Amino acid sequence: MQIATDIANGLDYIHHCSGLNSESVHGHIKSSSILVTEDSLNAKICHFGTAELCGERVGNESSLSDSRGMIFEGTAGYMAPESQASAFVTQKCDVYAFGVVILELVSGEEALRYVFDKVGGVYKRISVIERAREVVAVGGGELRKWVDKRMKDSYPVEVAEKMVLLGLECVDDDPEKRPHTGLIDVRVSKLYLKSKKWAEKFGLPTDFSVTLAPR
């Protein structure tokens, strides 16, 4: 939870408080763009601006003087549907990518993975978004089974459920239905406080979190 809170806070800062302008876009949010300190588990968003250095940003919209959108080639599994169709990135595309990272944090799964289909004899690509939607649709104890096994039972199920639902809101196909980062920051922070109170109640470590590494 601490990692998710730090990412949400950092992304909101980039979008609204960076000092560059009020409409900045990171354009490179993904699990490999998150640095986590080993001792305190604080998370930092990196790669801001490296899209251009890596040749992934291929131009800016000439009619805009700020960073409300930019032409960009992103990473599979983190690209919003509208950016895949037009290669145009906005803040809501950052929100989509953040939603994918949330689902990775909860499940311990990668954004995209390949599973061998014994019936068809081919590898099938599965996204963490598809799995999250399936888990929510089934309901019951399916979510608990899906949460990263390395967490065991050291987490409040209610918080995990709400984090998954928030992640799915962020990856809504309609960018207008995705929450803005200010609201995301508030909601994740509240869930983090709930998880800390739960941990303190049961005498568990209050700094537990989920690694970004695949299981």
130-174: per-residue pLDDT in tens? Answer: 999 999 999 888 999 999 988 887 889 999 999 999 999 999 999
pTM: 0.81
> In angstroms, rounded to a whole number, what is the distance separating the alpha carbons of residues 90 and 94?
7
> In angstroms, rounded to a whole number, what is the distance separating the alpha carbons of residues 112 and 17?
32
> In angstroms, rounded to a whole number, what is the distance separating the alpha carbons of residues 41 and 6?
10
pLDDT at 59 over 50: no
CATH class entry, domain 2-201: mainly alpha
User: Side chain identity at 55, as an amino acid letter?
Assistant: G
Cβ pair 207, 40 in contact under 8 A: yes
Per-residue pLDDT tens digits for 14-52: 888 866 556 788 888 998 888 888 777 788 888 765 444
- Domain ranges in the chain are 2-201
Tell me the average pLDDT of the chain. Answer: 81
pLDDT at 201 over 70: yes
Query: Nearest Cα to 8, choosing from 93, 98, 77, 75?
Result: 98
> In angstroms, rounded to a whole number, what is the distance separating the alpha carbons of residues 96 and 110?
15
